[in-house]
Amino acid sequence: MVDAPRARRMAGRIKQIVATGIDTQVKDPRLGMVTITDVRLTGDLHDATIFYTVLGDAAAHAESAVALESAKGILRSEVGRQTGVRFTPTLTFALDSVPDTAKHIDDLLAVAAEADARVEEARRDARPAGDEDPYRKPRESDIPD
């Protein structure tokens, strides 16, 4: 039976424990500027996916991934010790793609804004293709005297 509020509370607690553990206990030089962004916990509380971001290039991402994999045991034992649950969830680290996706969306919005500005510029000097007043007017012969 899934207890969603309990899973959310547990995920928040795991996020806090792992972030603190990375800051204080893991002394791996390969570990860069890692930020824990989210934790997703399965309904049965057995598997936790920890999303993180790393400041730097692709090499920093790869080195931090290796460092987190090697520190997984230490962090899992710390999670188990501080949460006090019967079964300590397994930890899986996943690089969070949200910052890259947000940058891509910002770039697309900038391109769209430039296109809108060009359309407005073209619209400013535009005139109708036909007559100024496109509506039919009665002929002078049709007007009763």
DSSP label of 107: H
The topology under which CATH files domain 4-95 is GMP Synthetase; Chain A, domain 3 (3.30.300)
92 neighbors 38 (Cβ within 8 angstroms): no
Q: In DSSP terms, which residues pair with 39 in a beta bridge?
A: 50
> Three-state SS for 29?
coil
82 neighbors 17 (Cβ within 8 angstroms): yes
Tally helices (H) and strands (E) across the chain: 4, 3
C-alpha to C-alpha distance for 36 and 20, rounded to whole angstroms:
10
Report field, pTM of the whole predicted structure over 0.85: no
Q: Which residue has the tokens 């207890």?
A: 3
pLDDT by 10s per residue, the chain, length 145: 567 888 899 999 999 999 999 988 888 888 878 999 999 998 888 999 999 999 888 888 899 899 999 999 999 999 999 998 889 999 999 998 887 788 888 888 888 888 888 888 888 877 777 777 777 777 776 666 6
Domain boundaries, the chain: 4-95, 97-126
